[in-house]
Amino acid sequence: MAEQTEIRKLKEVIKMVMKRKGYKYADLAKAMQVSETTVKRILTKDDPSLPKLFFIFDWLGLNLAQVAQLMEKQTQEVFTEYSVEQEEFLVNNPGHQCIFEDLLAGYSPEEVAKKYNLSSKSLHKYLLDLDTHNFIELHPHNRVRLLGKGALKIRADGPLRTKFVDLFAKLFGFIQYQGMKLANRDPKYGYGANSKLRMRPKTFEQLKKEIVEIEEKYTGISFMEVAIENSENLIDVAYCFSAANFDSSEMMFGKPKNFE
């Protein structure tokens, strides 16, 4: 399950930080006032409760944003590069790519089927195709084993990079659409605002600082909710924070030049 995968990553982060700081299981056991055997069980077998996690984070001197960043870094450091033919398959079959990305993220086949409302027959077909193209190893009862580790590494000159360049172009369109949609403050869609303001440099620095604080706050909250909530209780949210010393006229029309 995706939740179990997140908890496993949490444990790896805890053990990594303990090792870097020179802490032993006995040190954590003393701090938690439990036996060393209990600590080993928490970090290897049991799913630690939320209070225990908060205690360990605090003991290690970590806040939620820092833990989330360590988890992200840990994920990014492990990746697999697939062949050009495999990338072409994903580009030509976006449904398969969605399912493969979910499997990489730790979703079980059952969770994937529920997420996309797939029938058992359709799920099996997707998994069989991914097996045929050597992304996974399919076993009876739709059990799967990933044939790569970590995140998907995109080839510098491969089909996926070409696709993502196009997607980034469409993303700019999404931001424009988001601005128009949210201009009406549609509560069913979300909230957003677009503004071009004039302010002192000191005020601009404060704005940037607050954007960073908001991003860190909700990254930490999101990380914790993914770790403890069932996937059906969560929704996908896209957000975009942007603040820059920005001259729109120069961007649209070019920088003025001196007359000859």
pLDDT in tens, 224-239: 777 666 777 888 777 7
- Of all residues in the chain, the percent with pLDDT exceeding 70 is 72
pLDDT in tens, 167-182: 655 555 555 555 555 5
pLDDT of residue 187: 55
pLDDT in tens, 16-67: 888 888 899 999 999 999 999 998 888 877 667 777 888 898 899 888 778 8
Give the span between the Cα atoms of 153 and 81, in whole angstroms. 5
pLDDT of residue 133: 94
Q: Enter the tokens of residue 52.
A: 């225990």
pLDDT of residue 186: 54
**Are 151 and 78 a contacting pair, CB within 8 Å?**
yes
| 190 pLDDT more than 90 | no
**DSSP β-ladder status, 79-81 and 151-153:** parallel
Give the span between the Cα atoms of 107 and 113, in whole angstroms. 10
CA torsion through residues 7, 13, 15, 21, sign: negative
Question: What domains sit in the chain, N to C, each tagged with a CATH number?
Answer: 2-62 (1.10.260.40), 80-153 (1.10.10.10), 159-253 (no CATH)
Give the span between the Cα atoms of 134 and 121, in whole angstroms. 20
With cut-offs at 50, 70 and 90, classify the pLDDT of residue 155. confident
Give, rounded to a whole angstrom, the gap between the first and last alpha carbons of the chain: 68
* Strand boundaries in the chain, DSSP class E: 79-81, 136-139, 143-146, 151-153
- pTM beyond 0.85: no
- Of all residues in the chain, the percent with pLDDT exceeding 90 is 18
Contacting residues for 41 by C-beta, under 8 A, at least 6 apart = none
